[in-house]
A and B are shown apart, each in its own frame.
Chain A
Amino acid sequence: MLKKVTANSKPRSSFNNGKFMPKSSVKKGNPKIEEDFFPKIVAFCCNWCTYGAADLAGTSKFTMPPSISVVKVMCSSRVDPVQVLESFLRGADGVLIAGCHPGDCHYDNGNYYTRRRFALLNEVVQSLGLENDRLQLSWISASEAKKYQQTVTDFTEKIKKLGRNPLWVKSEI
């Protein structure tokens, strides 16, 4: 699953350019909770269910922390494990993968693949020295705007407690 990490054109070379290392965080090797820490979370949302829920949450004006940045994919199964790892290596404090409920997939069975890949990814994430809690898989259907809001809020809180992604510190050494 990991073998594609360098498959994209540039990732490794731009790996140490320091862009994702905010100057304020300098406590090397010991990323304690910071007062003004605001997590960066990448959320991969499937077009048919979760992106729809996000839209409905917007239309319903449910407020949420601005921590989450949504990347739309047609199906959660498009999310390549490499893209998740890349997000972490780029400094994401958390990654959320969200799609249709099992059995609900617009493409019939895509989210079963997502589920399996997630299980494997969890192990990889751990081996990188990241907490498992930084990676989350959620099933949110298009009508579940409230659940979307709740998920975003809870996940942000969780990441806040975990603190900054420790990977960048390690990569600097």
Chain B
Amino acid sequence: MSDPTVVSPSWLEAHCESVTVVDVRSRRDYEDLGHVPGAVNVPAAEFRDPSRVAAGKLPSADDFAALLSEAGIDPDDSIVAVCDEQGVNAARFLLTAAVYGHDGRLSLLDGGLAAWLEDGGDLTDETPDPTPTSYEAELTDDAPLVDRQAVEAAVEGDAIVVDTRTPAEYDQSHIPGAVQVGWEDLLDESGRLRPEDELEELLAAKGIRPEERIVLYCNTARRLSHTYVVLGDLGYEDVAFYEGSLTDWVRSEAAEWNPVELEARVRSYADAGGFEAMIEELGEDVTNHLKLIGLYHQKQEGYFMLRTRAPGGILTAEQASVIGEVADEFARAPEEYGGPDQNPVFGDGYLDLTTRQDVQMHWIRIRDVDEIWSRYEAVGLETMQACGNSVRNVVGCPAAGIDPNETVDVRPVVERVSERFLGDPHYANLPRKFKISVTGCHENCARAQIQDLAFTPAIRDGRDGFAVRAGGGLSDGPRVASDLELFVEPDRVEELVEAVADLYVDYGSYLDTAVNRLRFLVEELGVERFREELASYADFEFETPDEVLTTDYRDDHVGVHEQTDGRSSVGLNVPTGRMGGDEFRELARLADELGGGELRLTPNQNLLVPHLADERLESFLEASVVDRYGPDPGPFSRGIVTCTGREFCNYGIVETKNRAIRWARDLDEWSEAVGIADEREAVRVHLSGCSASCAQPQIADVGLRGEVYRDDYESGRAADVGLGGDLGNDEFIDWLVGKVPIDDVPAVVRAVTLAYETDRDEGETFAEWTRRRSDVELRNLVSEAAGTKPAAIGTEAS
């Protein structure tokens, strides 16, 4: 590859016949503002590709070749690149051409277009019409790209790491040991390169000498390109660049993302000024990091949601009792937010059971977390990595070990995976969150399709184990997890999770936050390639399953069930997952006294109390708290699931819990009145306050997602409505009608419920019915019930 150099406007003037000038400004600027005569246009936006998940910001070789060929450039053309940003984008172009093996000379126009004009150069608006070439690009073997590991080595002393950003940026954060030389420091006031002796002096002062090995970085690999060209021009021979740059580094290595250190730091503020002092000393950004230790800053400044993990949903009665007590004591709103009357339905001191078998509570203060964590430690509870970009609470079969029909008791597997990643800083800072579930029964009760990585029972050569799926998820860009056709034994699960996490760290982008969940990587690589890559990360031979054992989908555990050992488990129904801390504590007491000292949380925000011997079952069922969350609820109370919503969440567009519990109660009454309460065991209505899908609306019978609507005179809260989620058939809902005013939602639910009752075939489930009816019919049904205008599009086809 050829090393770029710098040329002056007068040089270009003299050589313009023999070189190809590449103008990297936007097409519009190139056309409208004029350009160097004969220059072709290759806009920077087209050769920078920050969207790719699996690579840096370099375009793919094919894309780059296509661009150059379209611009009529041959591999041995001598190129002078020009831009109007003092050379940054032009340098980026040259660097890209260099790593893709351009043979001809590569030069940067010193001072860019401004210098060209200043020295009397002309501009033209005549656009050349280049003949396409057959340009081919391939990453050269000696391309000076280095990865994170190489930078780590450089930090250890085998190279000089240079930060090409401003001193202010450098002061804020930088790679340890890096020296700062802002790319603009190399330019004079007019934007041209300083004289060579000045440059050498400036560089030498920072220890950057031609004989040293040098690694450059900035934030997004743009500015470093300029320095790269300048150093090449000065004759530095061993210059490399870190394409991932600081963003990648900070996310993967920084101490502020180390959960153990972070927890210790936060605890220290308990007696030293609490929230205000913490923000003062650690900066507002710290609230982002706190998620890693289970603390989400609520909408109400200075108060947090605390998420407690329960791997596989399993809590000892003692742990549950502590959680209940903590909620009762600390999850209390201050007077200014209503105190004991903060919530008109639930009062104060309550907690929320979640769809990932966690427990959340609100109004937690930084002053209180040290005490809370101390109480938690005494009983082995954790909030660490309950949130943030790490392995989240591992979801497991709520009936693990007690279900007469299970193949594998997943409890030890869940525990091993949880333990493996807890507190490990390397895995506490993945590109994005990483959600895992392990199912041991035949009914997919840990919801494999919506996980980043999921295990469901399978057999290979008579051995029990798991089939593996990867790349599922909901929210924005939902995807059903792909079957990897991979069998793993229970003992290998932990290793496989580690292999996936390693692959994710290497391939995943730390930059493209919006699209870097594992599912986007699986989609980009394709299932086959993903599996192949994964094989290279795992220390064992991959096998395919002989038989997968999932036969059905179970969406809750409500009711009284017989266990393998003849005792009973009682599935309670906690509509919307919210209950008083005191109630939770009371249930813990009952589980201890009458059951086996254990409680289980389920993925639809409910509770299961196992190990009730026949002679104690009766007294358990008679307890008033059990009666309140009784195992025989109405169909809507049984099916309702919601996220936290606007009450506390910064993102929630609509309030969810209070609204949904009222809906459920009214709809239960209605279903009694119209005589369908006995027909329908459960109607699953999931209400998510925004598109983040914390209530998993895409797997519900009726999925709802917070929105707003507006007409000429009013605006208000609304919901998007979708129907027919069915994990038994790998089906998510389709969003049928957008922006239904929120108060019209119950009417919509009634209408679709009735339409199904009237129209269904024998044995047909709700989801099957929605698939039999066309989307047009369903859209009309929803729109009419809501009194909204018929949907604007999609009415022609189903």
A, B: real partners: no
Residues of A within 8 A of B (CB): none
Q: Which residues of B contact A (CB under 8 A)?
A: none
